[in-house]
Amino acid sequence: MENTETSHLVSMANDIAANLGFHADASERIADHINRFWSPRMRGLLLEYAETNVQGLSDALLPALKMLRK
C-alpha cells in the first residue's frame, strides 16, 4: 500500500464489498454506496490506487470500481 490513508480506504471499500457482495447486483450496490457516502477525494484516491495496483482489492470490489465517478 502506498500510505496509511490509501490503505484505510482500500480496507473500507473491501468491507463494503464483503457486506454487499452476496446480492445479485453487488457491483451496482457497492458502487452506489461508495458514490453516495464517500467524498470525491476519497473516491479519487481509491480509483487512483486501483489504476496501478489491484493488490489488496477484493474480487467483489473490482467490477464496482469501474462504475465509480471521481
Could you tell me the pTM of the whole model? 0.90
70 pLDDT above the threshold of 70: no
**Tens-place pLDDT, residues 15-45:** 999 999 999 999 999 999 999 999 999 999 9
C-alpha dist (Å) from residue 40 to 24, 27, 47, 58, 59: 26, 19, 10, 21, 23
Q: Which of 32, 30, 27, 25 is nearest to 12 (CA)?
A: 30
65 pLDDT above the threshold of 80: yes
**Tens-place pLDDT, residues 11-23:** 999 999 999 999 9
Cα–Cα dist 30/63, whole Å: 9
